[in-house]
Amino acid sequence: MDTSDAVKGYEDMDTKRRLKCKEFRFKVVIVGTYGVGKTSLMLQHFDRYFTDNPKTTVGVDFRQRKFHLNNTSVILEVWDTAGEEKYANIVQIYYRGAHAVVAVYDIKKKSSFVRALEYITEITSQAVPPMVIALIGNKQDLSNEREVDYEMASKYASARNVIFMETSAKSNANVDQLFEMVSERLVEECVKRKTETDLRKKLRLNNTQSMAHRNRCCST
């Protein structure tokens, strides 16, 4: 079988791989400066709860949720990191081992957007690829106080293949969609990597078998 024959079966292999991958476990880390609403997003998603004065995260906080996505079981481990700069080294430790990072900024504070972009730059330079990254503008319910232009942020994300959306932890706008979109991208990346690995193995096996056949022909 030549390379074209192997590639022809790629879609079938992808379908079979999806059926075999019954459960995925992903680590998702939320980063961002103090006060952008990281904890509020997590509380809204996991507890359907919002408060204007959430408890300040010291170091990291952790929550876990299991759900089904496209007939696949997903265990999502979400880590909420502290936004204060004194915890920066701790935050780096956690996102280096993550499958996805959600960089959150407050649409009312340009400085928080700048810091979110810095996080993304740090992550892409230090993390082991492929990693799913999301840029999230929180506090959409206060858009009349906006300092960060939606189109500008969207274009930045699109140019870097980064998930982008605006959310409101207070009104629950796009909060669940955020975690669903990240989960979907993670599953897609996982299936893609495994399928490509299977394809490479199949090509190596075919090449080995072809070489062995030629050697047998030469020895007769």
- CA 33 from centre of chain: 19
**What is the model's pLDDT at position 16?**
44
Task: Kindly tell me if the per-residue pLDDT of 107 is higher than 80.
Answer: yes
Residues in the chain: 220
C-alpha triplet 121, 126, 157: angle, nearest 5°: 30
150-198 pLDDT, tens digit per residue, is 999 999 999 999 999 999 999 999 999 999 999 999 999 888 876 555 4
Tokens matching residue 161: 């293949």
d(CA 47, CA 55): 14
Listed residue (76, 77, 90) closest to 31, CA to CA:
90
Buried b (16+ CB within 10 A) or exposed e, 75-108: ebebbbbbbeeebeeebbebbeebbbbbbbbbbb
Q: How far is CA 73 from CA 19, 76, 159, 161, in A?
A: 11, 10, 31, 25
pLDDT top residue among 5 and 73: 73
Domains of the chain, CATH where assigned:
22-191 (3.40.50.300)
The amino acid present at 131, given as its one-letter code, is M
pLDDT top residue among 99 and 220: 99
Lowest mean pLDDT among 9-18, 73-82, 98-107, 205-214: 9-18
**What is the model's pLDDT at position 195?**
54
204-218 pLDDT, tens digit per residue, is 555 555 555 445 445
Looking only at the bridges linking them, the beta strands covering 132-138 and 23-31 are unpaired
pLDDT top residue among 42 and 195: 42
**What is the model's pLDDT at position 176?**
97
